[in-house]
Amino acid sequence: MKLIIFTTILLLTVGFTTFAQNPTSTPTPDDDVVKITTTLIQIDATVTDKKGNIVKDLKPEDFEVYENGKRQNITNFSFITFGSKNSQTNTENQSNKAESPKTPIPIPPVRLKPEQIRRTYAIVVDDLTLSFSSIFWVKSDLKRFVNEQMEEGDLVAILRVGTGLGALQSFTSDKRQLLAAVEKIRWNTLSNPFSYEPIQPNIIDELPGGKNVSAEQEKQREEKQKAIKLQKDKEADLRDYPSLKALDYVINGMKDLPGRKSVMFFSEGFKTFTRDEYPPKIPRPTKVFDALRAVIESATRASVVVYTFDPRGVYAPGAEAQDDIVGLARSPTAGNSQEIRVWEDNVNNSIDTLRYLAQETGGIANLGNSITKGIEKVFNDQSYYLLGYQPDSETFDPKQSKFNKLVIRLKRPDLKIRYRSGFYGVTDDQINQTKNNRTPQQKIYAAVSSPFDGKEINLSLYPIFYNDFQDRNFIRTLVHIDAKDLTFALEPDGFYKTTFEILAGIFDTNGSSANNRISQNTLRFSPENYQRVQKEGVVYNLETPIIVTGGYQFRVALRDVASDKVGSASQFIEVPNLKKKKLTLSQLIVRNYPLQKWNEILNGQNINFNAEKGLFLANTSLREFKRGTVMSYYYIIYNTKFDSRTSPKLEVQTKLFKDGKLLMENEPQPLDVRNQKDLLRIETSNAVTLGTDLTTGDYILQIVVIDKNADKKKQIATQWIDFTIVE
């Protein structure tokens, strides 16, 4: 694709004005909800009344904290609240719905900064255990969650355990990205097709000879029975153990997020106990139980509360289609219902693991028939008390390294309390020491998997979709590197040299990455160019062919070899399927001009097209502009409707947003297409002036194109670009 600036640009000279906005109060709790140090143990606890409502007026004297049975003196106490705004939001939605057009125009998403986040949710779909029907209900209710229940200030990830760990890239407030992740939820063939395992006759009853068998036949039966049981245990481990390891990875990845974090875990539970003999006697824990305990410990360290959901809902006793009722009726042991008791025991075990996981992390097990109501419970459960005390030397005795059990009691018997069960005798500093000792390779991989951009080296990333004349899809990714954050060495020949490692990954909604290799780059600049790049930065240009359309997350991490500093950046992009013949816009490419320079360009003066191309790349990747300048933008319109009798009939509307609030919109204006070479790829451009009355901060420019020849439901396409106004 050629980057073109037209000398016949239509100038839209709009002096954007701002409107007064009431500031929103956002709670700012301590970033570390759970603290485990040699001087302070701090744990969160949720208190509710008999109706399940949060109790907010308790004092330190209302609590008693015990560690390993020994009462502790409460030295730190606070109450943190994040109230739900659903009632207000629903009212606003109804009002907006009444006035909205037949074809709604999407509102550009706001990229949240850490200080703007109210609540953080990781929605983990355990597709290794969920049955076919459970997947259907989870997918349906998660769409409703994104469209109706998710609120301003929510940071959300929708992850599947069966797709690999790259999916951790998905933390976002962008509903487009989340809905794309929901659409990718599928039933996993490693999972059970049915909600409950089929009830079948005892394997002994199915073997030849009935109950009257010789000692040799009995031995053969036992060996076959053990082999079948071993196979079933392996199949359970293949589902359950990877599910818990993936959940543990997600929880550990949330540790650096601010405040209290929540995981909504959708699963049909695990097999945490097994029996070596038949009939069943004393159960023993499996390695799956050990993995479950590891998840609970990680959740405590990361201040994560786990809310579990069993999509099967309340179990209704009764035979199902997959049950072998005829075989059970013929079974000699059917009279004592042994097989049914074993089956019920396994079902209860799977449900109990979900209860246990929620209880031990301070969450709620949602086992009812409504996922939507369960999510609402989670929203209303985001207020809690922080209780802290000073531990004694026995807590972190290296000779014992024991689990320290916590008990928190209330002096008011009419209230209920939920809290974490305890912690192992290892301090956070000891755990973080491992993190600090990471190799350079581990450090850059950690940066590319973090849900937030790393700021030791300032990077700005912008992916651009385009479709060439051979109908091939590409994404060109522009990465702006602040050269002042890189280490340059002056060489004997007077040139300045810097070396950095870069890891660029493009992740689809399955979490799969198209690139995971680290490349090393060395740049050398003459003294003149060194001064220029110190001021303007460096643009790293990546081009990736795309075969499968859909949503993609670009992430880039860069490590300066000399200083070991790391920076990272991320951006979501949706690659449209142009074969559906739907009106589509490419991303916007921008260029910034001083007003005087812009007037010269309009008059055909002082135009250097080679320089303009480079400045387009630099401006589009960084997107930082001053007030009183002109921002021109270029984009391509695909799939306009026309035929031999009619030409394209397009209108364009421009909108400006600040902090998610609409500041300005103009009336749709007709687009002149008479000089276009390809009406299926209409190249167009325009410009806006950034008024001197604009305040500094983050803005979004949105372009709306209306195809008057298309069906009413397919008339509108939109694209936007975020930028920052600086002093």
Rounded-to-integer distance, Cα 539 and Cα 462, Å: 11
What is d(CA 292, CA 308) in angstroms, rounded to the nearest whole number? 13
Instruction: Write the CB contacts of 32 (distance below 8 Å, at least 6 apart in sequence).
Output: 42, 303
Angle of CA points 174, 267, 137, to nearest 5°: 65
Mean pLDDT along residues 580-598: 91
Element (H, E) at 416: strand 416-419
User: Would you call 14 exposed, middle or buried from its count of C-beta atoms within 10 A (0-12, 13-18, 19+)?
Assistant: middle
Residue-level pLDDT at 246:
85
Answer whether residue 342 shows pLDDT above 90.
Answer: no
Q: Which helix (H) or strand (E) holds 292?
A: helix 287-301
Task: Give 563's pLDDT tier (boundaries 50, 70, 90).
Answer: very high
Rounded CA gap, 20 and 34, in Å?
Answer: 38
User: For residues 312 and 318, what is the distance between their CA atoms, to the nearest angstrom?
Assistant: 14
- Greater pLDDT, 11 or 656: 656
Work out whether the CA dihedral 531, 534, 539, 540 comes out positive or negative. positive
pLDDT tens figures, 235-247: 666 678 888 888 8
Q: Can you give the pLDDT at residue 21?
A: 29
- Which residues have a Cβ under 8 Å from the Cβ of 621 and sit 6 or more positions away? 460, 461, 462, 478, 479, 480, 539
- CA nearest 207: which of 230, 223, 190, 186? 223
Average pLDDT rounded to a whole number, residues 16-28: 31
Highest averaged pLDDT of the listed ranges 313-317, 371-375, 464-468: 371-375
**CA dihedral for 135, 137, 140, 145, sign (positive or negative):** negative
pLDDT of 369 higher than 90: no
Q: Which of 19-23, 299-303, 713-717 has the lowest mean pLDDT?
A: 19-23
Torsion on CA atoms 142, 143, 144, 147, rounded to nearest 10: 120
Residue keyed to tokens 């302070």: 40
Judge whether residue 15 has pLDDT over 50. no
> Please, which residues have CB within 8 angstroms of residue 9's CB and are 6 or more apart in sequence?
602, 632, 685, 686, 687
Name the nearest CA neighbour of 67 among 298, 389, 297, 357.
Answer: 389
Q: Which of 433, 427, 377 is nearest to 404 (CA)?
A: 427
Separation of CA 624 from chain center: 26
115-147 residue pLDDT tens: 677 788 899 999 888 888 889 999 999 999 999
* Most confident option among 79-88, 492-501, 689-698: 492-501
Mean pLDDT calculated for residue range 251-276: 80
Q: Per residue in 300-336, pLDDT tens?
A: 888 899 999 999 876 655 545 444 454 555 554 444 4
DSSP letters, 634-664, are: EEEEE-----SS----EEEEEEEEETTEEEE
Most confident among 186-190, 449-453, 680-684 (mean pLDDT): 680-684
What would the pLDDT profile of 177-188 be if each residue is shown by its tens digit? 888 888 888 887
Q: How far is CA 427 from CA 71, 175, 256, 395, 396, in A?
A: 20, 38, 17, 10, 7
Judging by DSSP bridges, how do beta strands 403-410 and 35-36 pair with one another?
Answer: unpaired
The per-residue pLDDT for range 599-653, each reduced to its tens digit, is 887 887 666 655 566 677 888 998 999 999 999 999 999 999 998 888 899 999 9
